[in-house]
């Protein structure tokens, strides 16, 4: 059994950004020499998410608007008594989830035709990390 780990760093220009990281995960798996197994792609922060869906600009704008409806920015979250103002970012992270497992088959990400891996930043403009860990043979 092999296990390989790397970290991706992000420092987004915008407060919120959706970044397609499929190529970076694919490149990591290719260098890992693992031909069959799982790769975990997991945000190491509590105000960011990782999800799999479509790389279509209109849809991404729909997702952002939808997340704002279901987990809106509000000044009055209790969490803000700590001095933070990012309560909504925690809820958005819970909603899309902070991680995915992508299967590896024949040395490649075994994704469907339209599946892309996204890093969703909900409280950016600072250095943040995603862990990539592949396990397999």
Q: How many Cβ atoms are within 10 Å of 95's Cβ, its own excluded? A: 15
Is residue 125 a contact point for a copy of itself (CB under 8 A)? Answer: no
**d(C-alpha 71, C-alpha 93), whole Å:** 9
In the complex with a copy of itself, which residue's Cβ is closer, 19 or 115? 115
Is residue 73 a contact point for a copy of itself (CB under 8 A)? Answer: no
Is residue 13 a contact point for a copy of itself (CB under 8 A)? Answer: no
Identify the residue among 8, 29, 63, 117 touching a copy of itself (CB under 8 A).
63
**d(C-alpha 63, C-alpha 75), whole Å:** 22
Contact window for a copy of itself (CB under 8 A) among 9-17, 18-26, 101-109: 101-109
Q: How many Cβ atoms are within 10 Å of 52's Cβ, its own excluded? A: 18
Provide the token pair at 34: 């693992």
Rounded-to-5 percentages of helix, strand, coil across the chain:
30, 35, 35
Identify the residue among 22, 38, 73, 85 touching a copy of itself (CB under 8 A).
38
Is residue 54 a contact point for a copy of itself (CB under 8 A)? Answer: yes
**d(C-alpha 96, C-alpha 31), whole Å:** 28
Q: Which residues bind a copy of itself (CB under 8 A)?
A: 1, 3, 5, 36-38, 40, 42-46, 51-54, 56-59, 61-63, 66, 70-71, 77-82, 87, 90-91, 93-101, 103, 105, 110-115, 129, 131, 133, 135-137
């Amino acid at each position: 059994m092999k296990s390989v780990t790397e970290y991706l760093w992000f420092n987004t220009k915008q407060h919120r950004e959706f970044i397609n990281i499929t190529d970076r995960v694919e490149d990591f798996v290719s260098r890992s020499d693992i031909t069959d197994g799982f790769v975990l792609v997991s945000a190491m922060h509590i105000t960011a998410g990782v999800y799999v869906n479509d790389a279509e600009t209109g849809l991404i704008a729909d997702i952002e608007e939808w997340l704002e409806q279901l987990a809106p920015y509000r000044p009055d979250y209790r969490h803000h008594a700590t001095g933070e103002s990012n309560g909504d970012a925690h809820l958005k992270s819970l909603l899309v989830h902070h991680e995915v497992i992508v299967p590896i088959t024949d040395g490649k990400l075994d994704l469907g035709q339209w599946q892309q891996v996204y890093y969703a930043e909900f409280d950016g403009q600072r250095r943040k990390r995603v862990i990539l860990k592949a396990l397999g043979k």
